[in-house]
Structure 1
Amino acid sequence: MGFYVDIAEALDAEGIESRVNDGTLFVPVSEDLEVQFVDITGGTGIPGANVFLAMADVSEDDEEFEAALVGVVFSVEDAVATVARHVATDLVVGTVRDLMEGTDPRIADLEFVQDPVDALTVSAEVGESSEIVVTFEGEEGTPTARVQFVTLGEDFEDLMDQAVGEIWDEEVDPDPEDVTDAVFHSSEADRQRILEGLVHDIADMTEEILELGSYQDFDRLFDVLFVAQEQASAWEELLVPLEEFWEEDGEDGDDGNSDEHA
């Protein structure tokens, strides 16, 4: 039991509870999940334990009960790091679920969707042509949520009109209500795939990004998201490409210098 005692004491120092029962060290991760350590210390005397991930508060007699082997540890440090990793992962997964389900009243008006490639990135449409993007990072340590406000530039629709016209090889309404909707409902699969790529590329070219910070306090995250949805329309009007800002500033400077030397 020496290895279990050492792990339990190290976890207790981190504020994490644990208990030993029937030869297994149980460490609750959340109300629904727990980490289980099963000692495999052998004749060599090297301490070791199989690490299982299981649903909490499930009877071992339950036919549907399953504990999945997710790792093996050979030191107290590895055991503590393993627990910390699963606690962080569970926190991130739970927060992503809360965002997508809109369980918090502060985000009740936001409809978050999960990125099809990165499961730890979610976004919600706000304003006229913007979205709030939340990306979770740092599962190995303290999880962090990075928040961005992304708005499409004024040139997006014009460039999309031009792209649609070139690919369809026909005139396109210069001011369609929804160009992308018309594009994506086309039956021509090849052109559709090309246009999907163009939408992504043109968005990258024209979008403006406002960084809203990174947060380890996820309750604070929900406060920030509430403010972001309130400010979306104002931010859309205020955001201008930095290239235009510097160009205008340079033009003003040139005029001033010309006056000085006149």
Structure 2
Amino acid sequence: MSGRVAAVSTHRADVAVIGGSGFYSFLEDSEEVSVRTPYGDPSAQVAIGTCAGRRVAFLPRHGAGHAFPPHAINYRANPWALRSVGVRQVLGPCAVGGLLPSVATGDLVVPDQLVDRTWRRAGSYVESGAVHLPFADPYCPRLRTRLIAEVDVADGGTMVVVEGPRFSTREESQHYAAQGWSLVNMTGAPEAALAREMRLCYATLALVTDMDAGVEEGEGVGQEEIFALFARNVERLKDLLTRVIGDLPDPAGCTCDTWAGGLALSYDLP
């Protein structure tokens, strides 16, 4: 798609945090910037401020007050908007359900693999031509290395992303677990692939808020318990992200960007 729409040039950041369920603010003394994109409006205005000595952008994935359910998020607008204000590295914390005994409620996990089981989302900026994204390793290796350096963060695991907004049936959860997938989520795809198409370094930090329906006996997972556990951990996430932002690796030369070198992209980069 052509027709680049420029962001306000005086508002710049080089790192972004995309907040998940219950994570609707991050920066103090920030300024909100309206960014128009060729794909429509992002989930909210982009808040830009300073964190750990860096210029940081924050965007709530679900919008202010959780306006957008997972299947209705404008996934293409969000990475485009962030890149348009200068962002090159993105941290995407999210809530997940646990599928295997290797994870427990309250764990923080940095997955290294993703399985996309969504089906009605615009999953690419490519609308014409031959542009095939290398995606064998869906998360930035440099950002993952920095995140797992934190003492209370677990390294690795596969996150399966389902369409939502409903939770999984017991049989679905048991099927995912049987594949060896350890986490289940509703927003990690197509966000990760779109960030890569925008040539952004991207990694997610998953907070296990529950054990999914097929893992435990009982009534199954409910929204109230998930939101309550995430709320209890928001300050923990903010503290960890602040430490990470203050010590991020240089994105220059990362394969998240260089994959497109020499290719004629059929979509505009802001």
User: TM-score, normalised to structure 1's length?
Assistant: 0.23
Larger fraction in helix: 1
Highest CA radius of gyration, 1 or 2?
A: 1
